[in-house]
Amino acid sequence: MIFGAGILKGMLVTLRSFVNSYFKKPDQGGLFTVEYPEKRLVAKERFRNFPFLVYDEKPEDPRCVACDICAKECPPKCITIVRDADAEGRPLKKPALFDIDLSVCMNCGICEEACPFDAIFMDHEFEIAGTERHQSLLYHKEDLLKSNGYFRQIRPSDAALIDARRKEAEDKKKAALKPAAPPEKKE
Amino acid sequence: MKNKTDTPLTEDFDTQTLQINVGPQHPATHGVFRMDLTLDGETVVRLKPVMGYLHRNHEQIAENMTYAASMPYTDRLDYFNSMSNNFGYALAVEKLAGIEVPERADYIRVILAELTRIVNHISVIGFLLNDLGAFFTPLTYAFREREKILDLFEEIAGSRMMCNYFRFGGVKRDLPPGLLERIRTMMDVFPRFLDEFEALLTDNDILCLRCQNVGVLGRELALNAGLSGPMLRASGLGYDIRKVDRYSIYGRFDFKVPVGSKGDVYDRYYVRVLEMRESLKILDQALRQIPSSGDIISRKAAPFLKAPRNFKPPVGEAYGRVESPKGELGFYVVSDGSPQPWRYHVRAPSLINLTVLEDLCIGHKLADAMVILGSIDIVLGEVDH
């Protein structure tokens, strides 16, 4: 055994790898890192980070009905919901307060799974760093609400499925209402 | 164990042992772990592992929430292999509730578990070489390959490391279209990488000198200490839960269980390399056999995806275990018929494998103690659950 043969052999492997990194395709041993702030990778559709709320037409009417299921199922309990009420104190089907503490959220996506109204989804946004701990990471309803158009943009195939399902449900509702209407007129 | 009388050099001098702390924040301890070392010169005389810096009450947390809600917490046990952790927990609860898993879901599970094994072994070897002083070249090569698999995980589960993908009775969602082909492409490239990696390492003089006959773990001790996984197999005992239990659908695949002969650091390294090759074999078979369509979650368990609080397993207890890349990962769940487990216990392989650290290190140099710790393959998230 020649002294230093192991080193030479190792150097040969690293040299080959060095050359390959410039001349080969990324999946064949080439470079595939991206210089982050200037260049960005396209986010995968299923990528999940923090939750957001969806509204259909205007932010005042979110899909959320304040049923509190996501807050109950959330493993680290980072969601706080208070139901809205009208002037006479009767509860309304929308949240008066919807807070998510992103410093507690662990990105598990269980809220999205448990929501029966397709109102809460996981976002792709990740650049949310703040300068202090408590205020900037506590997201209120206004910060969380995003349009369905945005959802379609970040997760096209999921949004298409959900939109189709919602439309079907709405059509069924309308179909169920229509036959009931004529008899009322007769009376 | 060497003491003063064995070494003639120190006989004439009035020497004393030196006590040093390695960690809790030290690059070689793989996390927040402290080794209380007593040294005679450079030789380790006594070693006391101090752990618990990352303790976060995992079991109590799980006992205070629904069964499904602890699934994302299991990701955080051994944060390198969240898929295997999910697998173990899902098996335990399925046993408890008597849920059958559909065929396609079983194949998806096995494919992901084996990919996880590759991810784990490749990074362990990278870190082991880091501990040996081969700074970052092998580790970056390893992480380059790991990255490709993590990208697949992100596409499947939505997250690279905290996958949270398994559900009781199946998996969360079906695979995205075209993913099996991408796994296939990854698998075609991977053996070439492994060959290159081995050309760099397996016969390397420095690696052999540093690793052979260091930290020898005898069969007796390995067995008596309750070790499992590659640690046990490197000592020559071919005990693999995939073969013993044949859980899930492992009985259908043809693969070998590589065993070492001496039980030194080198064997532990080499067993892991061989295991990666066996994992590729299982992946190859699974990709060929997987049904192209079918349920991904059992009909019985599907309603609980939307309403985890209604999932109430019958009164009883169950122990589900898997061969995680680190060893036997077991979950013990006791149900009292309520939506929350009455008792939840994790048998963490990292913690139990760590118990032999002192026996392996005594008599070796301080620099070897780091290598031995690296070869045990611990993740502090699991040790301190």
**Is A178 among the domain residues?**
no
**Is A111 among the domain residues?**
yes
* Residues present in chain A in total: 187
Mean pLDDT computed over every residue of chain A: 84
d(CA B142, nearest CA chain A) in Å? 12
Name the phi and psi angles at B171, rounded to 5.
-125, 170
**Is this prediction's ipTM beyond 0.90?**
no
Confidence of residue B11 (pLDDT cuts 50, 70, 90): low
The shortest CB-CB distance from B72 to any of A6, A47, A110 is to: A110
Q: Do B200 and A29 touch (CB under 8 A)?
A: no
Residues A86 and A90: their CA atoms lie apart, in Å, by 6
Helix B265-289 to helix B103-132 angle (10° resolution) is: 160
pTM recorded for the entire structure? 0.87
pLDDT in tens, B272-287: 999 999 999 999 999 9
**Is A175 among the domain residues?**
no
Is the predicted pLDDT of residue A167 greater than 50, yes or no? Answer: yes
**Is A2 among the domain residues?**
no
What integer pLDDT is reported at residue B208 of this predicted model? 82
Task: Map tokens 């939307």 to a residue.
Answer: B306
Is the predicted pLDDT of residue B334 greater than 90, yes or no? Answer: yes
Helix B179-201 to helix B137-157 angle (10° resolution) is: 170
d(CA B174, nearest CA chain A) in Å? 12
Of the candidates B189, B185, B188, B187, the one whose C-alpha atom is nearest the C-alpha of residue B115 is B187
B/e letters for B195-217, b = 16+ CB within 10 Å, e = fewer, are ebbeebbeebbebeebbeebbbb
What integer pLDDT is reported at residue A3 of this predicted model? 67
Domain residue limits at A158: 51-170
Q: Do B200 and A10 touch (CB under 8 A)?
A: yes
Mean pLDDT computed over every residue of chain B: 86
Decide: residue B233, CB within 10 A, 0-12 exposed, 13-18 middle, 19+ buried: buried
Confidence of residue B4 (pLDDT cuts 50, 70, 90): very low
**Is A12 among the domain residues?**
no
Q: What are the helix and strand counts (H, E) for chain B?
A: 17, 10
Q: Which residues of B touch A74 (CB under 8 A)?
A: 69
**Tally of structural domains, chain A:** 1
What is the percentage of chain B residues whose pLDDT exceeds 70?
96
User: How are strands ordered across the β-sheet holding A120-122?
Assistant: A120-122, A51-55, A145-147
d(CA B363, nearest CA chain A) in Å? 28
**Is A101 among the domain residues?**
yes
Contact (Cβ atoms closer than 8 angstroms) between residue A155 and residue A88: no
Q: Do A110 and B199 touch (CB under 8 A)?
A: no
Q: Do A75 and B305 touch (CB under 8 A)?
A: no
**Is A148 among the domain residues?**
yes
d(CA A13, nearest CA chain B) in Å? 6
Q: Do B196 and A122 touch (CB under 8 A)?
A: no
**Is A33 among the domain residues?**
no
Which of A24, A46, A106, A124 to probe by mutation at the B interface, max B CB count within 10 Å? A46
Mean pLDDT score, B196-214: 81
Mean pLDDT score, B94-122: 91
Name the phi and psi angles at A121, rounded to 5.
-140, 165
pLDDT in tens, B304-322: 888 888 888 889 999 999 9
The tokens describing B6, both together, are: 């064995």
Q: Do A44 and B307 touch (CB under 8 A)?
A: no
Is the predicted pLDDT of residue A182 greater than 70, yes or no? Answer: no
What is the percentage of chain B residues whose pLDDT exceeds 90?
17
Q: At A148, which CATH number?
A: 3.30.70.3270
Residues B121 and B142: their CA atoms lie apart, in Å, by 9
Task: Map tokens 């990528």 to a residue.
Answer: A47
The shortest CB-CB distance from A114 to any of B199, B205, B306 is to: B306
**Beta strand residue intervals within A88-140, DSSP E:** 91-101, 120-122, 138-139
User: Three-class SS of residue B13?
Assistant: coil
